[in-house]
Amino acid sequence: MFPIYAPLAVEITRPFWDPLGLGKAAAEYWRDACERSVLYLDVMRQRGNQYLEHMEETKPNVLGFDTEVLLDGRTLPNPVNYELMRILPTEGIEIDESMRPFVVVDPRAGHGPGIGGFKPDSEIGVALRAGHPCYFIGFLPYPVPGQTVEDVVEAEVQFLRHVIERHPDVAEQPMVVGNCQAGWQIMMAAALEPDCFGPILIAGAPLSYWAGERGKNPMRYSAGMLGGSWLTTLVSDLGHGQFDGAWLVQNFEKLNPANTFWSKQYNLYANVDSEAQRYLRFERWWGGHVVLNSDEIQYIVDNLFIGNRLSTSQLLTRDGRRIDLRNIRSPIVVFCSQGDDITPPPQALGWIDDLYESVDDIQAHDQTIVYCVHDTTGHLGIFVSGSVSRKEHAEFTANMDYIDILPPGLYESKVTERDASQANPDLIDGDYLLEFAPRDFEDIDAIVKTDIEDERRFATVSRISNINLGLYRRYLQPLIQAVMTPEAASWMRRSHPLKMGYKLLSDRNPATVPLPVMADAIKASRHPVDDSNPFKVLEGMISDQIVQGLNAYRDLRDQATEQLFMQVYGQPLLQTLMGLRADDQRPLPLPGASPEHHRFVEQRKQALLDSIDEGTIVQASVRALIFVLGGSTTTDERNFQRLKATRDEMGADVDLTTFKTWVRDEFEILNLDGHAAIQALPTMLQGEDAATIDAYMAHIEQVVRASEPLEEKTQTRLAIVKKLFERAKPVQEAPAQPEASSGESTRRSNAGRKRRATRKKGAPGPTRDSSSS
């Protein structure tokens, strides 16, 4: 692929003995191939230099934005190597400090920080263009000695509290985005301190490691094939208490050998004139390996990768608090992709099936879960793809307030292209429409494909891992720790195969000295061959054959690995020896709920039923809206945009937090006794005049009709609400008055609410018991 450079100085012409021009085409291709070879090698030399410069930086990252460090995690009571940074807006972007803050937490899974703000079209870029104050939680290459995963979680809570203090006039809590490993990390933080979080977006984040589909997702078998986590401890001991993230990156690369060993490099070689800068930008992040403490990586591997304990509420903090994801009170948006081989959809969504029995169980815990499954993008594309950022991330960011007021339950979101034929196109933000559809556990099961027999196999792996780890620590670890020195560990890290590939092709290698001179000469007189050249076409065909061959090897390897795993860990005798029963119970049963939670739920239900006919006209309108929109299979952002547009007239003094509480209360009341809740609307409207009732009914109809055409069930429910609002009008009206202005209508509404509040004064309302969080 990389022939020795021997440029042809003479002009290539077609001689008489080459009537088909194949000789001329071969000469042109040879010249182009030689030039591409030199340019390719020079790009690899630049990659090596870039790597060495990057690793020598004190605080390396690949953020595409200027930042200001606000908090250094090394100064916290339990110091960590994390930092809270404020993203400085670029020229032409104005930040509205009154908008909800936007916080991106980067994954520390072998690579350095910055992937969430790698490109202008990134998660941070989308939020900045929307006017949100943006913050970034990144990290340094080396951990603080002794830091743990729990220390990092506590630090992230401290960072969020600092962000909240910087925006005292913003009632809503920050929206937090966790990419990959950072996703489960912020879920842990939100479970421990739910009051610090607004909507949570976890992108490509694995939370349920046993989940997966047979014939796919081979990475979940790795622990079983290696005998458990003892190897992780060995690598940490060889690193003198530190685990080199390059080993994690190597595991990722093994998933797709065709891309690792051929496609990525060939794409650069074939398109070296246009791909060089993009390749170098990506390699700056991909090769920026970081280090983890041995305690950190052991905690992750034992409790998450192998034990699967986070999704089943088995983790405890050092002060005895249980990390239960059901404590999270913020809406959770799960963004995953079918094209992601590192975090496939079953692993991104399986925690829902691990924690809850049904959608009713989700609602009983006052949780809102939204999932979105992309069709094709890969793992990194979820964070850095321009098409994804312009589409899904842009819609999630623009509609975070909409997501925040969704009633408790399970929803699937879809992002579709804006269509000029759609009703009220002016209510669609951007080029795409965000829709939400209620879902049931059957929909989750269709993605996760839970298999009890497979779960029993993974439970067997977990117990064998504990045995092997105990044997290693008892007999081998003392010897390894006795002979390893910091100098030897540092030499081993520097000698990792991935790192050597960067160093060997850099200016530190004397053999690369001629490359920049030759590359400059070629660029001054470049002779690229046309894509129609038959030899260039043949080159592409050979490349395709190599890719197919490597893919066939991958498929054969993965199939053999899966079959061996299933046979070994599916042995009834082995499972029995590990203490597993051969009945139908799940090896990791549902965590269940405490008696205190059940008692709180019953008390709350009774309190809501007792107040079923109480509330203001705004609350009555909220109940009516939920009832009517519940008759539709989907709702979309147009309904919410219309609701925001009429919000001042529907209650100017109602903030988002209060409105969110009303939505959840009215939703629960409708769930408890829908018929009685709707029939109570006229009672709730007592004391309001006919003009005010008509104005609110008009607002309700505007919100509902924003997403026309309406389904038949929705039209029927809208007609029922109209009749009830009509029935609530006073029987005798005062003498006709000039039609009230919008401001007068609002004043009457406020007066009506005061009368209702006075009448209800002293009446006990539903309160949240601390046992629910």
pLDDT score, position 749: 45
Q: Does residue 602 sit within a domain? A: yes
pLDDT greater than 60 at residue 525: yes
- pLDDT grade for 653, boundaries at 50, 70 and 90: low
Residue 412 is part of which domain span? 67-210+308-450
pLDDT at 693 over 80: yes
The pLDDT value given to residue 133: 94
Compute the average pLDDT of residues 51-69.
86
Whole-angstrom CA distances from 669 to 395, 432, 439, 701 are: 30, 33, 20, 21
Best CA proximity match to 728, nearest among 769, 754, 770, 756: 756
Contacting residues for 487 by C-beta, under 8 A, at least 6 apart:
none
Tell me: the pLDDT tens digits for 347-390? Answer: 999 999 999 989 999 998 989 999 999 888 888 888 776 667 66
pTM: 0.86
Name the nearest CA neighbour of 196 among 238, 167, 227. Answer: 167
In a domain, 748, yes or no: yes
pLDDT for residue 36: 96
Q: Are 751 and 577 in contact (CB under 8 A)?
A: no
Domain boundary among 389, 417, 450: 450
More confident residue, 651 or 493: 493
Average pLDDT of 335-352? Answer: 92
Domain boundary among 429, 450, 471: 450
Lowest mean pLDDT among 32-41, 332-341, 584-593: 584-593
**Confidence class for position 158, pLDDT limits 50, 70, 90:** very high
pLDDT at 591 over 90: no
Q: How confident is the model at residue 171 (pLDDT cuts 50, 70, 90)?
A: confident
Average the pLDDT over each of 78-92, 605-619, 634-648, 655-669 and give the range with the smallest value: 634-648
**Two tokens, residue 522:** 């070629």
Average pLDDT score over residue span 523-538: 93
Distance CA 457, CA 685 (A): 59
Q: What percent of the chain has pLDDT over 90?
A: 57
With 60 as the cut, is the pLDDT of residue 753 above it? Answer: no
Q: Which of 384, 508, 489, 381 is nearest to 50 (CA)?
A: 508
Closest CA to 436 of 407, 393, 470: 407
Instruction: Count up the domains in the chain and report the number.
Output: 2
Task: Determine what percent of the chain is predicted with pLDDT higher than 70.
Answer: 88
β-pairing verdict for 332-337 and 102-105: unpaired
Q: Which value, to the nearest 10 degrees, does the dihedral of the CA atoms of residues 19, 21, 22, 28 take? A: 150
Q: What is the mean pLDDT of residues 209-219?
A: 89
Does the pLDDT at position 700 exceed 80?
A: yes
Confidence band, pLDDT 50/70/90 cuts, at residue 398: confident
Mean pLDDT computed over 74-97: 92
Segment 428-453 mean pLDDT: 88
410 phi and psi, to 5 degrees? -115, 130
pLDDT tier, 629 (very low <50, low <70, confident <90, very high otherwise) = confident
| Closest-CA residue to 695 (of 626, 596, 621, 604) | 621
Whether the pLDDT of residue 733 is over 90: the answer is no
Q: Is the per-residue pLDDT at 485 higher than 50?
A: yes
Highest mean pLDDT among 48-52, 433-437, 765-769: 48-52
In angstroms, the CA 189 to CA 159 distance is 11
Q: What is the mean pLDDT of residues 758-773?
A: 36
Residue 713 lies in a domain: yes
Residue 603 pLDDT more than 70?
yes
Residue 137 has pLDDT above 80, yes or no: yes
Is residue 657 situated within a structural domain?
yes
Evaluate whether 200 touches 332 at the Cβ level (below 8 Å). yes
Higher-scoring residue by pLDDT: 277, 736: 277
Report the pLDDT value the prediction gives residue 205, as an integer from 0 to 100: 92
Residue 504 covered by a domain: no
Tally Cβ neighbours within 10 Å of residue 43.
Answer: 22
The C-alpha atoms of residue 650 and residue 631 are separated, in whole angstroms, by 22
Q: Give the residue, 643 or 359, on which the prediction is more confident.
A: 359
Within 8 A by CB and 6+ apart from 715, the residues are none
Q: Compare 765 and 419 and report the one with higher pLDDT.
A: 419
Residues 6 or more apart from 168 whose CB is under 8 A from it?
A: none
- 340: its two tokens: 């992601």
Sequence-distant (≥ 6) Cβ neighbours of residue 749 within 8 angstroms? 617, 618, 649, 650, 651, 688, 692, 695, 696
The answer to whether residue 396 is domain-embedded is yes
pLDDT greater than 80 at residue 1:
no
Tell whether 569 is covered by a domain: no
Q: What is the mean pLDDT of the chain?
A: 86
The pLDDT of residue 758 is above 80: no
Of 393, 417, 450, which residue sits at a domain end?
450
Q: What is the CATH number of the domain that holds 313?
A: 3.40.50.1820
| Res. 397 pLDDT band, cuts 50 70 90 | confident
Spell out the alpha helix ranges (H) of 337-484.
345-355, 359-364, 381-384, 386-388, 394-398, 400-404, 441-448, 452-475, 477-483
Intra-chain end-to-end CA distance of the chain, in Å: 61
Q: Which helix (H) or strand (E) holds 541?
A: helix 534-569
